[in-house]
Amino acid sequence: MKPDKSWLEALYHKYNHPKWIHPDPLEFVHLYKSPLDQEIVGLIASSLAYGRVRQILASAESVLRPMGSSPRDFLLHSTERTWTKLFQNFRHRFTTAKELISLLKAIKGIIMRYGSLYESFLKGLSAEHDNVIPALSRFVQELISFDGRPSSLLPPPEKGSACKRLHLFLRWMVRKDRVDPGPWEQVSPRILVIPLDTHMFQQCSRMGMTRRKNANLTCALEITRHFQKICPEDPVKYDFALSRLGIRKETFDSR
């Protein structure tokens, strides 16, 4: 049985509170006040959001702590040589120090060209787009252009991956409530796509929101359409609450 709005709203009001954020890489974004720092922290933390949560938090902290109170200032006033020395021993599962440096190089390049990640992302937005995929694809292409090669941290959405980490980043940046900080105010949550990982895929399958076998972009869009029927103005509204449900291993019951 598919969940109804009353059940999802009850879940949202139960879990959509700052006290439930930990353990989640989103907690790092809340440590910074400036949107210009929040977006950088968000992209770094979300890019590392795969694997065991303790390892994710440890890896994100190992990158962000040396950057001090303003990651933006750190990147603008340091060089690739500094980063290479600073993060030479970094490794997060399959992500190497080289890939991390490439990501930092891309972020700095975008900031120097557009002023912020936000301004770069806005360049790809169009009122004609039904979802965020075209804008996200352009944004990723811009990031990749500064290093000249694809990265596992920046998968191109147009190739069919669910791109869970990138959509998680967008949820943090676009939605604004007690959990998601939402500094990107000119992007509508209406066009967001559900951040689909294995756990969310399994949950949505149990709830009858998809019969697909693979958690790819097609599946993510299908599940998002189900949520759009419930909350068209904010289809990823329930993502955080549903993820807490999974962590606490409570049983789904939409009745």
Q: How many angstroms separate the CA atoms of 227 and 49, rounded?
A: 23
Mind spelling out the 3-state secondary structure of the chain?
CCCCHHHHHHHHHHHCCHHHCCCCCHHHHCCCCCHHHHHHHHHHHHHCCCCCHHHHHHHHHHHHHHHCCCHHHHHHCCCHHHHHHHCCCCEECCEEHHHHHHHHHHHHHHHHHHCCHHHHHHCCCCCCCCCCHHHHHHHHHHHHHCCCCCECCECCHHHCCCCHHHHHHHHHHHCCCCCCCCCCCCCCHHHCCCCCCHHHHHHHHHCCCCCCCCCCHHHHHHHHHHHHHHCCCCCCCCHHHHHHHHHCCCCCCCC
CA dihedral sign of residues 142, 148, 153, 159: positive
> Is 88 a domain residue?
yes
Q: How many angstroms separate the CA atoms of 246 and 34, rounded?
A: 31
Looking at residue 51, its pLDDT comes to 94
> Is 254 a domain residue?
no
> Is 253 a domain residue?
no
> Is 35 a domain residue?
yes
For residue 121, give both structure tokens: 């992302």
Looking at residue 255, its pLDDT comes to 27
> Is 255 a domain residue?
no
For residue 200, give both structure tokens: 């969310």
For residue 45, give both structure tokens: 């933390």
> For tokens 């759009």, what's the residue?
228
Say which residue, 252 or 128, is predicted with more confidence.
Answer: 128
Q: How many angstroms separate the CA atoms of 173 and 182, rounded?
A: 4
How many domains are there within the chain? 1
For residue 123, give both structure tokens: 């360049």
> Is 108 a domain residue?
yes
The per-residue pLDDT for range 83-92, each reduced to its tens digit, is: 999 999 999 9
Full residue range of the structural domain in which residue 237 is found: 5-247
The per-residue pLDDT for range 206-238, each reduced to its tens digit, is: 999 999 999 999 999 999 999 999 999 999 999
Q: Please, are residues 179 and 17 in contact by the beta-carbon 8 Å criterion? A: yes
Query: Most distant CA pair in the chain: distance in Å?
Result: 58
For residue 52, give both structure tokens: 């065991």
Looking at residue 107, its pLDDT comes to 98
pTM greater than 0.85 (yes/no): yes
> Is 44 a domain residue?
yes
Across the chain, what does the average pLDDT equal? 94
Q: What is the mean pLDDT of residues 155-169?
A: 96
Looking at residue 251, its pLDDT comes to 39
